[in-house]
Amino acid sequence: RSSSSSTTSSYKCEHQSRHAWGTTEHEEPSFIIARVRKQYSSPPHHNFHHLDINEDFNRYYAPWSNKNEFEIALNKLDRYYQNLFYSKCYEPFIPIVYEPSPISYDRSKFATFKLIQRVQANRPETIQTLLKYEKRPGQAQRFFARINKDFRWPSSMPEYLRKSAFYDIAEDGPDFDAEIGFNIIFFYNALDRGEFIGHENEWVTVYKQKVLECGQRYDDDKLTSVLDAMPSAVQIPVDQTRLPRGPPTKMVTVYRTNNGNDYKVRVRVRRPNESLIALLPHDFIDVQDNNKMYSCVVDTGAPHTILPHYVKKTLGRKGWSTLKATAVGYGEPTEQYFASQMFEVSIGDNYNWSKWVQAKIGVWDICPGDKVQYALVGNDVSDQMAYIHEPGKPLKI
């Protein structure tokens, strides 16, 4: 498509006109029925099962105009019966999936479908089921109070984004925004309903639980501009294999700490032309995360700088992506936030500081657990500095 505006109008046109089973596209949010496919066979066997089916009967998807329309109708019908089963008996429901069944008819003209079992659908969440996401007392209670009582996680929603949405909705404070969590959930409900069929190679921008546009992924400048105007907007790929992942990080650090492998430093971070500074000592203790300690080190195996969540909390939400990435290598699969604009970083020892250099840094998620023990100053910062490494001696910057 030539532009995001034309893509947006295409999306709206497609989805405002769908009224399968006499409903609108927003009534039953589920994507339980698998993709329908035609299956063809060799010429028919001549036996009593063979039927002479005329062309008028060979309308596979009537009264729908095409296969996509038919898929969406099946999805909605499936969710309707899920809700019916839950409301009647609240018992686990095995949803259905439609597949071509082997028949002796001429399947170049006709196809039938059989029912097979599939995985159990998500049941409504309760405070008890939400406790697994809780890192501070009361989070599950606050989340449950802010959602519909029959809330179910969308089937297609990755677990780490469920946690992300949970924290945004359950937490209070300037570093969290419930609207971000609701926007992410909205996207995956729409994905479950099949609303992005035909947009598989595009990214979807959601704001105030509405689709703004489908198109190419924003670059950092565009993302910063969008988030300045709409701080709770999110942009998510329809193709889930394209979800953000942190660049591979390998702990190949070279000052001698207890294990003799890395250079400990102090770190300070600020926005360009601003006076507010987040300061990390050699060993930073996060009092808001059960006194978790991070050793701040120069890491020659890290392409990007990854610091504690304290930095984002201190400097504020501006300039950070609203969609988390997952770590690759060190700390995997811990979530990370990456900056959409430049920050300034300086490192030092007990007496002196280096010059300020600019980098689009990242921060670990809040409460990252035991897999993360380091704040890593990566090559995006160290490559902008001149330093001397002499064997057996401290690093000189």
Whole-angstrom distance, CA of residue 390 vs CA of residue 132: 48
Q: 141, 132, 176, 135: which is closest to 292 by C-alpha?
A: 135
CA 313 to the chain's CA centroid: 21
C-alpha angle with apex 231: 225 to 233, nearest 5 degrees?
A: 90
Say what the pLDDT of residue 376 is: 92
C-alpha angle with apex 345: 340 to 349, nearest 5 degrees?
A: 155
Say what the pLDDT of residue 342 is: 94
Where are the alpha helices (H) located in the chain, listed in sequence order?
Answer: 4-16, 67-89, 127-130, 139-145, 159-170, 178-192, 220-229, 310-315, 379-382
Mean pLDDT in consecutive groups of 10 residues from the start of the chain, 397 residues: 48 44 40 36 40 42 60 67 54 42 37 35 85 89 89 93 92 78 95 92 96 94 92 94 78 44 82 94 90 89 90 91 88 89 91 91 90 91 78 63
Edge-to-edge strands, sheet with 210-215:
210-215, 203-207, 234-237
Q: With b meaning 16 or more CB within 10 Å and e meaning fewer, what string describes 50-83?
A: eeeeeeeeeeeeeebeeebbbbbbbbbbbbeebe
Say what the pLDDT of residue 67 is: 63
Say what the pLDDT of residue 177 is: 85
Q: What is residue 236's three-state secondary structure?
A: strand
Say what the pLDDT of residue 386 is: 73
Count CB atoms within 10 A of the CB of residue 262: 25
Whole-angstrom distance, CA of residue 275 vs CA of residue 211: 37
User: Biggest alpha carbon distance in the chain?
Assistant: 94
Residue pair 154/192 in contact (Cβ under 8 Å)? The answer is: yes
Q: Is 102 left (phi over 0), alpha (psi -120 to 50) or beta?
A: beta
The helix or strand, by DSSP H or E, that contains position 269, with its residue range, turns out to be strand 266-270
Residue pair 277/311 in contact (Cβ under 8 Å)? The answer is: no
| Cα dihedral 231→236→242→245 (10° resolution) | 30
What residues contact 199, with CB distance under 8 A and at least 6 apart?
7, 11, 214, 238
**Token digits for 65?**
């105009």
Whole-angstrom distance, CA of residue 180 vs CA of residue 126: 21
Concatenated DSSP letters of 330-363? TTTT-EEEEBSS-EEEEEE-SS-B---EEE--EE
Say what the pLDDT of residue 195 is: 93
Concatenated DSSP letters of 74-89? HHHHHHHHHHHHHHHH
Count CB atoms within 10 A of the CB of residue 246: 26
Per the confidence metrics, is the pTM higher than 0.85?
Answer: no
CA 336 to the chain's CA centroid: 11
Residue pair 350/304 in contact (Cβ under 8 Å)? The answer is: no
Concatenated DSSP letters of 192-234? HTTTTTT-TTSEEEEETTEEEEEESPP-HHHHHHHHHH-TT-E
What residues contact 200, with CB distance under 8 A and at least 6 apart?
238, 239
Residue pair 354/397 in contact (Cβ under 8 Å)? The answer is: yes
